[in-house]
Chains A and B, each alone.
Chain A
Amino acid sequence: MTGTVKFILDGRVHEVQNPDPTETLLNYLRYGLGRTGTKEGCAEGDCGACTVVVGELQGDGGVRYRAVNACILFLPTLDGKELLTVESLKGRDGGLHPVQQALVETHGSQCGFCTPGFVMSLYALYLEGPNPSRARIKDALAGNLCRCTGYGPIIEAAERMHTIAPDDLPDVAAAAKALKAIRRMDTLSLSAVSKLTGGEKKYFAPVTIGALADLAVAYPDATFLAGGTDVGLWVTKQHRELETLISLGDVPELKMTRESSESLEIGAGVSVADAMELLGNHYGDMGELFRRFASVQIRNSGTLGGNIANGSPIGDSMPALIAAGAKLVLRWGAEERTIPLEDYFITYGQQDRALGEFVVRIIVPKPAEGLKYRAYKLSKRFDQDISAVCGAFALTLEDGMVTKARIAFGGMAATPKRAEKTEAAITGKPWTRETVARGMVAMAEDYTPLSDMRASAEYRLRAARNLLMKAFVETTGTADTRLVGDKELAHA
């Protein structure tokens, strides 16, 4: 057991003795270290002004650098990692990094407040290598809001940054060595006194699944912390005091992905970014949906398991995975059980998970030959928005007949939910406009959506029905149906 958080900052090991487990990295940087280049714009991971880059040791001995939101990242989760902030980019001679220089040259800053966040998102993109496509640039910047420039000059900077000679190149080998040296082999255990309640706050970050299972049973009321992209907001926005946190972030079994001839297995702690890559290879449209799942920063921190385990009715991964026929593996103590994903969601705020039980992995069957899979996300804004409606369709078509249909929606009910009546209305029927019309009528029996700030009930139902029509048009014709993303996917 150890009570010290260690990470690499500016090439040196940085140690923090027993920090408050829920202190955010942003607050630690700004008010603890006086590194005020990183800004707070929203404290909920939506504006990107707090973007920093985190390096993690990979299985192959390399280091992968990714942009994340510091505002909702708890400081202890940095343990064993490398942190780069805007201050870290200063060249040996004090000069600007090519990313920064490019932004200066293209007039990429006006008020400048969002700029350090853009710099760090661009820096992560820079490390991916030269000549990023326009689409890649826009994705990389989807999690950074700028209210002044209109983005054009920032996109131009992204295209220009690789043409400027760097002052010095990152020494990945040295970083890997430093990270190996601070790699932790046992549970990180922290304890602090709450400044608000005076009570004890505990934090555990086990490194084996056995230790995790034991801790989960020992502290059944604990909050599981994976990417923290939701739990972070409980602290920054709801001012909740979390007494006991158990981090899932350092357990290798939860970080694994496995591919067999029939299925894909994704550990609960695998980031949405990594899951997106794997799932997208098999379900093209799921990849496209996940590309629009929050932002790069959130996808890098957030996990597929976390998105599911929370059971939010508006999480984007659930309808996509339910339609694909995914299963969930849960563990309590030494016991594992497997359930169809849709059965996990009982009602709003209630899931089929016992105290002390946690999600281990998600099993997604590979698409059968000829399966038509479509996933759609409707929101006010294309990128970095929460869906008003998210619908997924997995249709088996044989000789013009629908032989099997799995349809699931988010945003239409208190939980992510299958459209059973709609499925029944079209299954065993010819895949025609008439059948689609019947399906659209039946959908009103599946869902009674609510009105909220994202959309009215009327829009939700009308648009959801139209998505069935869209799936029909895309699987039967050649007309253009898509405004964004890889338009080839429409008729795949």
Chain B
Amino acid sequence: MLENTKGPRVSDIKGAVHTELRHDSAHKHVAGTAHYIDDLPEPKNLLHIYVAMSERPHARLVEMDLAPVRAADGVACVLSAKDIPGHNDVSPFAGDDPLFATDFVEYVGQPIFAVAADSREQAFAAAMKAVVAYEELPALLSIDAALEAGSMIEPAQVMAQGDADAGLKAAKHTLKGSFRIGGQDHFYLEGQIALASPLEDGDVHVFSSTQHPSEVQHLVAHVLGRPTNAVTVEVRRMGGGFGGKETHPAMFAAMAALAAVKTGRPAKLRLDRDDDMVITGKRHDFKYDYEVGFDDDGRISGMKVGLASRCGRSTDLSPAINDRAMFHVDNCYYLGDVRIESKRMKTHTVSNTAFRGFGGPQGMLGIEAVMGRIAHTLGKDPVAVREANLYGGKGRDTTPYGMTVEDNIAPELIAELKASTGYDMRKAAVRAFNEGSPYLKKGLALTPVKFGISFTTQHLNQAGALVHVYADGSVHLNHGGTEMGQGLFVKVAQVVAEEFQIDIDHIKITATTTAKVPNTSATAASSGSDLNGMAALDAARRIKARLIDFLAEKYACPKDRVTFRAGHVYVENRELAFADIAKDAYLNRVSLSSTGFYKTPKIHYDRSVHKGRPFLYFCYGAALSEVTIDTLTGEYKVDRVDILHDTGRSLNPAIDRGQIEGGFIQGMGWLTTEELVFDTRGRLTTHAPSTYKIPACSDRPDEMNIALYSKGRNVEATIHRSKAVGEPPFMLANSVFLALADAISAVSGYKSWPTLNAPATPEEVLKAVTAMREG
């Protein structure tokens, strides 16, 4: 395919890559005919499972009498640690996530047993009959408490470049500070669910709403004490995932599978929303400490950053999440001599887990807050300070982890966004408004994003696919990626349509199942289309190569005279239909099925010294946000947002714009209204949408302009030179947080700069406003 600076050439087929295509299930979503697991016809004799939870954050389980539970009406079986034939562990790797607590409980909400009964009501009523006695132990309920106790899930990690102390000492200006960054509940609209059916030989089939079917498969087998091949896990679609369905679904799948295998009856576990929010992990909250040295232009020469996060009761994915926080402490900026220390605190709260951005947002928000403060300290324009610090120039292209930034487009993106939004005029207008408005104050901020793409755990960067071409020319597509709304399935189908040069309508998108593609990685780290698109491409190319061999031989022509183009296959000047050659190939005993495989090149990382090239490439974007705050109440409104984001040569611009807007709004929620509150007894008190507030329709800025970077093209040979899009736009919302800080600063006539903690709830904003007033 020819490529030129005006953008990619688009094939003359329906569903070509680089075209705007609707989500493959859109017409079913709107009609209510897209099936989620709870919508599947319920099998005969179905059991319903209720999960009983610990009511203490840290305690010895002195007594757990389940006899009354077993005796209750409708109960088919009761599951506890003693009923596990295999291993009592559903952790991704560390071995510290018991399916059911044994001697100790370590968070409020930890599963202690489960009941399978004829109805949900009976399962719940039975569970309430348990006699459970605790001997309470001291509980660590916050980052500070864990820091004081030195309670960590692994040793502190240090990433450094140069001599940070020397860099700080040499700097003309230095600043020191500390602030807090809150966690976030995923609030996928479809809660956690699993439906298990017993098969022959004690095998089991599990429908699981999961981003990681292979891990669910492995862990269900592990719990059952069976080989992996005894378990099949299937998922057609999730009602949202966002990272919350990466490690946690295994817990519920294992309980359902256990009940099914024990009773010989199918079993469903569908969590109530409140239980879901109490039992499952969230985004890590962080404490961010910094000391930064800079020159008169605000250019940083040395920096020390201390990160401490709440990992909760177990390891889960916290090491990689906190590593990614460290990887993004720099964002787009060269930090000079830098030392980043990251502490991963073990607390007696729910085990925190993957969430869109995977630690990156927390790392990145810190440096943006620091940039805002540096600009204020020097009385400089904050964008100018950011620009002065961007990667680029001699000796300024190495990250704190030793990777050379080779694809830096942040300077161009920022310049383009500044120009397209009239940044200087907008800033002047905000200042003028504030002059004349005593109670409402406006704020403005532009922040960039640079986000590393690849799993930082190297072996995860692999993917498989399975493509069949049937004798009528219709195509069956399967791969290891899962669909959670992000449009992965349609993108991969576009890749296959493009390769075969057939309309996408001929391609059947099928449910992800461990029986078709084994040993897959989670659909996570924004990697879905990069990895699975390449694997599917490989499978399609293998089939195509066999077809070319067959046609070249049949028509006695060179292979390069067989081409696939615009819905047809051309053999020299013969125009053949794809369906006809499929049939012909079948009749001539040509295999029309192939697996495909991909592994990401170039990446390597030595975690013992935190050096290497963990990422194949970076995604970039920039956003300008304007907000108004009410200085009497702390309420605020995001008035306008302008985004310029790079998705390379987008596989599907419509899907990518959806990811950008959705990611931004989710990020905005994280930094504004979404507040997780634990009480003094370790109970989450914001465990339902009545108390935990994700953005609603009216929170969307009245004006929101989203543009894809028109010159975008991945310098790495990714699938059709596109870039990942799932996570990076989330961090564009940092601009909202900084705009709020700017508006608060206006209360002091820009004499002071606030220390603002995230989330910036109205209460937090009013607190900062009051501090401004009191000087």
Contacts and interface: CB of A to CB of B under 8 A. Distances in A.
Given A96-B31, A107-B22, A107-B654, A470 B633 contact: yes
- Chain A CB within 10 Å, residue with most, of B30, B657, B690, B699: B30
Interface residues of A, number: 90
Contacts of A382: 635, 637, 696, 698-699
A116 B694 contact: no
Contact of A195 (B28, B121, B240, B273): B121
Secondary structure dominating the interface of B: loop
Contacts of A379: 693, 762
Interface string A59-97: 000000000000000000000000001110110000010
Q: Which 4 A-B pairs give the minimum distances between C-beta atoms?
A: A37-B32, A111-B485, A113-B239, A112-B29
Interface in A432-470: 452-456, 459, 462-463, 466-467, 469-470
A287 B641 CA distance: 30
Given A111-B484, A452-B685, A467 B633 contact: yes
B94 interface: no
B252 to A, nearest CB: 16
Interface in A374-424: 376, 378-386, 388
A86 B766 CA distance: 43
A272 interface: no
Given A42-B688, A383-B699, 19 more contacts: A30-B38, A38-B32, A40-B38, A42-B273, A42-B690, A49-B189, A109-B485, A147-B187, A148-B485, A148-B658, A150-B700, A152-B700, A154-B697, A155-B700, A380-B761, A383-B698, A388-B763, A459-B634, A483-B636
B698 A481 contact: no
A40 B655 CA distance: 26
A38 B189 CA distance: 13
A462 B633 CA distance: 8
B189 A151 contact: no
Interface in B24-79: 25-36, 38-39, 41-42
A36 B688 contact: no
- Chain A CB within 10 Å, residue with most, of B28, B654, B677, B693: B693
A282 interface: no
B675 interface: yes
Interface in A306-355: none
A31 B696 contact: no
A41 interface: yes
Interface residues of B, number: 89
Given A36-B39, A195-B122, A466-B633, A480 B437 contact: yes
Contacts of B242: 147
A381 B700 contact: no
A153 B41 CA distance: 31
Contact of A151 (B187, B274, B665): B665
B632 interface: yes
B518 interface: no
B38 A36 contact: yes
Nearest to B270: A40
B462 interface: no
Contacts of A455: 763
A153 B658 contact: yes
B662 A110 contact: yes
28 contacts: A36-B35, A44-B273, A46-B688, A104-B30, A111-B241, A111-B484, A112-B34, A114-B189, A138-B698, A147-B694, A148-B240, A149-B662, A150-B661, A151-B665, A151-B696, A376-B633, A378-B633, A379-B693, A380-B675, A381-B673, A382-B637, A382-B698, A383-B697, A453-B675, A462-B766, A469-B632, A479-B437, A479-B440
B37 to A, nearest CB: 11
B694 A454 contact: no
B686 interface: yes
Contact of B26 (A104, A473, A480): A104
Interface in A178-219: 195-196
B529 interface: no
B189 A39 contact: yes
A388 B637 CA distance: 18
Nearest to B639: A483
Contacts of B33: 37
Contacts of B662: 110, 147-150
Contacts of B666: 147, 150
Interface in B171-206: 186-191
B36 A113 contact: yes
A47 interface: yes
Contacts of A109: 23, 25-26, 29-30, 485
A484 B29 CA distance: 32
A376 B696 CA distance: 19
A139 B274 CA distance: 26
A196 B696 contact: no
B695 interface: yes
Nearest to B124: A239
B41 A34 contact: yes
B439 A112 contact: no
B247 interface: no
B590 interface: no
B138 interface: no
Contacts of A141: 696-697
A134 interface: yes
A103 interface: yes
B218 interface: no
